[in-house]
Amino acid sequence: MVPVGCCPPRQLLFWGGIKLIKDILEPSIDQESKSFWDGLKNEQLLIQYCDDCQNYIFYPRSICPHCFSEKIRWRNSQGAGKIYSYTVVHQAFGPFKQEVPFVVGIVELDEGVRMMTRIIGKREDIAIDKRVTVVFEKVDDPIVLPYFRLV
Amino acid sequence: MKSERVAAIVGVAESDLGKTPGKNVLQLQAQAAKLALEDAGLTKNEVDALFTAGNWAWAPSLMLAEYLGIQPKYTDSTNIGGSSFEAHVGHAVAGINAGLFEVALITYGSTSRTNPGRSAFPSALTAQYELPYGLPTPVGAYALAAMRHMHQYGTTSEQLAEIAVATRKWATLNEKAYMREPIEIADVLNSRLIAEPLHLLDCCLVTDGGGAVVVVSKRVASRLNKKLIWILGHGESHSHNTIANMPDLTMTSARESGRAAFEMAGITHDEIDIAEIYDSFTITVLLTLEALGFCKPGEGGAFVSGQRTAPGGDFPMNTNGGGLSYCHPGMYGIFLLIEAVRQLRGEGGKRQVENAKLALVHGTGGVLSSTSTVILGRD
Ligand SMILES: [Zn+2]
């Protein structure tokens, strides 16, 4: 039996013609996100903090999703946290096609926010709840992404 | 049953399914709409509300209505992914209850197998924080949820495979199903990994296909010579858009949409005879069964074990062969409704569940993002 591929059509829609990560990102960076992406180039993981409800916020917004306050400022994250979940990707698309297998995870920072990332480490050592720390990965000039490695 | 009978489904149909080369999404929707209206005994001129969901046009409702020659007085192109059509049913009941219209036509069409389509990359907005990491969407997102569920509760790949195997058994009984060769648990486990822990056979098909559902007021229903399938309860919710923002990777908003639907219908879980549950991936089903309350969080693996959801099992589920084996053109939700109505009318043929009176239909959209639950019952 030859199973039908599960390649989701949205992938093709999304990745048609996209060769580089910067081709995805550069058209998307706007005033709201620029500080975050610029911070990474200086090896800073900037996340937002709400002065009214004292929650950290990720991804960047102009209004607090907890209390609707606009008193939001950037803070430097310590870049430490733990793996909330992860997957080893064996079939990828666009600029990532040749990289498989690679590990994508969701990391929960000690400040309390979660973000998607890549996890760097030996496959057999990677597990949920393991501690990780940020590394600044220049993926293609000038794009730097916050990856996380096992500590 | 406390639910007041406001609206009934009186017509359902599929278009051609599987591979439909040369057909476009409007043709598929027109074909399904015509068959569903014929099934109901209504004409297109009696349609006064039009519902569709898709990303094939700037304003899908406008293009579809013009193509079909329908001028609706109520229109709804709510798109929350695969669960859109269960939401449309809920919205249709609300509109009928408010006296806004009496005959709602809900359609869907997709050529995602023969014409995957390519377009320029759109501005990613909030997706810019996920796209650069290369997670294949949606499968990678569901894999993250499955991995977390396994970690938290000890759920196994074998348990997920039970769902794929049972669903395939139903497909062998449905001549319209795309994949009809029986499979075993080992076949699922030995199929190649797509995104760990999900294998190829944990994933839905990619097919073409369309469908249509006709919802009418009690007044219109009473003059039709049809077995009436009443909409007894409905609920909808969504908890996030991108997967990193899902509050808890093991709990979907089916908890909320399901509770609302059960409360409105005034029935309990034990009374459900058949369940049609969105199966984009095996993990989708397992999480949904838990969130809906058919079992406790963490017990989904045990719940589906021993081929409980297969033909002859005590929890008949996805009786057409599901998105895993029958068809899955991207947004599968309308097909869940079609199958539930057929089962409740006793039109299930070889796969008919004996004496099915109450059905739960549940759609999931996006990356476990949106959920809509509908409870249907016959007289
Ligand atoms: Zn706040």
Question: Is residue B74 among the annotated active site residues?
Answer: no
d(CA A122, CA B52): 47
Q: Cβ–Cβ of B183/A29 closer than 8 Å? A: no
The verdict on B191 and B297 lying in the same domain is: yes
Give the model confidence (pLDDT) of B128-151 as tens digits: 999 999 999 999 999 999 999 999
Per-residue pLDDT band at B90 (split at 50, 70, 90):
very high
Q: Which residues contact A69 (CB under 8 A, 6 or more apart)?
A: A50, A51, A52, A53, A63
Report pLDDT for A13: 47
Q: What percent of chain B has pLDDT over 70?
A: 97
Give the model confidence (pLDDT) of B230-242 as tens digits: 999 999 999 999 9
* DSSP tally for chain B: helices H, then strands E: 11, 11
Report pLDDT for A7: 38
Q: What percent of chain A has pLDDT over 70?
A: 89
Chain A contact probe: residue of B79, B111, B129 with most A CBs at under 10 A = B129
Question: Which tokens in the block code for residue B284?
Answer: 């989708």
Report pLDDT for A4: 33
Report pLDDT for A5: 35
Q: Which residues contact A107 (CB under 8 A, 6 or more apart)?
A: A81, A82, A83, A84, A114, A115, A117, A119, A132, A148
User: How many angstroms is it from B124 CA to the middle of ligand 1?
Assistant: 25
Report pLDDT for A17: 67
Residue B188 pLDDT > 90: yes
Class assignment of domain A17-150?
mainly beta
Report pLDDT for A69: 96
Q: What percent of chain A has pLDDT over 90?
A: 75
Report pLDDT for A9: 42
Q: Which of B142, B153, B178, B278 is catalytic?
A: B278
The verdict on B228 and B246 lying in the same domain is: no
Residue A3 pLDDT > 70: no
Give the model confidence (pLDDT) of B13-25 as tens digits: 999 999 988 889 9
Q: Cβ–Cβ of B134/A7 closer than 8 Å? A: no
- B222: exposed, middle or buried (Cβ count in 10 Å: 0-12, 13-18, 19+): exposed
Residue B117 pLDDT > 70: no
Per-residue pLDDT band at A6 (split at 50, 70, 90):
very low
- Closest alpha carbon to A3 in B366, B208, B164: B164
Does residue B247 have a cis bond before it (omega within 30 degrees)?
Answer: no
User: How many angstroms is it from B28 CA to the middle of ligand 1?
Assistant: 47
Report pLDDT for B55: 87
Q: Phi and psi at residue B60, in whole multiples of 5°? A: -55, -40
Q: Which residues contact A39 (CB under 8 A, 6 or more apart)?
A: A45, A46, A74
Contact A6, B200 (CB under 8 A): yes
Nearest CA in chain A to B19: A4
d(CA B166, CA B185): 10
Per-residue pLDDT band at B123 (split at 50, 70, 90):
low
Report, as an integer, the average pLDDT of A88-106.
Answer: 95
Question: Which tokens in the block code for residue B52?
Answer: 């569709």
Contact B204, B327 (CB under 8 A): no
Give the structural domain span for B15: 7-115+208-233
Report, as an integer, the average pLDDT of B54-72.
Answer: 94
Per-residue pLDDT band at B120 (split at 50, 70, 90):
very low
Report pLDDT for A14: 56
Largest Cα–Cα separation, chain B:
57
Report pLDDT for A16: 62
Pair type for strands A131-140 and A143-150:
antiparallel
Per-residue pLDDT band at B191 (split at 50, 70, 90):
very high
d(CA B15, CA B33): 8
Looking at residue B58, the DSSP 8-state letter turns out to be S
Pair type for strands A114-120 and B103-110:
unpaired
The answer to whether A119 faces chain B, any CB pair under 8 Å, is no
Report the mean per-residue pLDDT for chain B. Answer: 95
The verdict on B221 and B359 lying in the same domain is: no
The verdict on B216 and B178 lying in the same domain is: no
Contact B14, B39 (CB under 8 A): no
Per-residue pLDDT band at A22 (split at 50, 70, 90):
confident
Q: To the nearest 10°, the Cα dihedral for B52, B244, A106, B365? A: -20
d(CA B253, CA B301): 19
The DSSP bridge partners found for residue A49 are A56, A73
Pair type for strands B229-238 and B370-378:
antiparallel
Q: Which residues of B touch A12 (CB under 8 A)?
A: 116-118
- What is the nearest CA distance from B74 to chain A, expressed in angstroms? 30
Per-residue pLDDT band at B164 (split at 50, 70, 90):
very high
Is residue A132 within a helix (H) or strand (E), and if so which, with residue range?
strand A131-140
So what's the ipTM on this one?
0.94
Question: Which tokens in the block code for residue B370?
Answer: 């949106």
Going from N- to C-terminal start, the domains of chain A cover: 17-150
CA angle B248, B364, B22 (to 5 degrees): 140
Task: Provide the CB-side half-sphere exposure for B161 (13 A, CA).
Answer: 17
In a domain, B345, yes or no: yes
Give the number of domains in chain B: 2
- The minimal CB distance from B129 to the residues A59, A85, A143 is found for A59
In a domain, B132, yes or no: no
Report pLDDT for A140: 86
Give the CATH number of the domain where residue B141 resides.
Answer: 3.40.47.10
Pair type for strands B358-365 and B274-277:
parallel
The verdict on B299 and B179 lying in the same domain is: yes
Give the model confidence (pLDDT) of B272-326 as tens digits: 999 999 999 999 999 999 999 999 999 999 999 999 999 999 999 999 999 999 9
Question: Is residue B326 among the annotated active site residues?
Answer: yes
Handedness of CA B38, B39, B42, B45 (dihedral sign): negative
Contact B238, B369 (CB under 8 A): yes
Pair type for strands B49-52 and B74-76:
parallel
Per-residue pLDDT band at B198 (split at 50, 70, 90):
very high
Per-residue pLDDT band at A23 (split at 50, 70, 90):
confident
pTM for this predicted structure: 0.95
Report pLDDT for A1: 28
The verdict on B146 and B250 lying in the same domain is: yes
In a domain, B60, yes or no: yes
User: How many angstroms is it from A55 CA to the middle of ligand 1?
Assistant: 6
Q: Phi and psi at residue B127, in whole multiples of 5°? A: -75, -10
Q: Looking at per-residue confidence, does A10 or B345 come out higher? A: B345
Q: CA B64: distance to chain centroid?
A: 21
In a domain, B362, yes or no: yes
The verdict on B85 and B169 lying in the same domain is: no
User: How many angstroms is it from A77 CA to the middle of ligand 1?
Assistant: 17
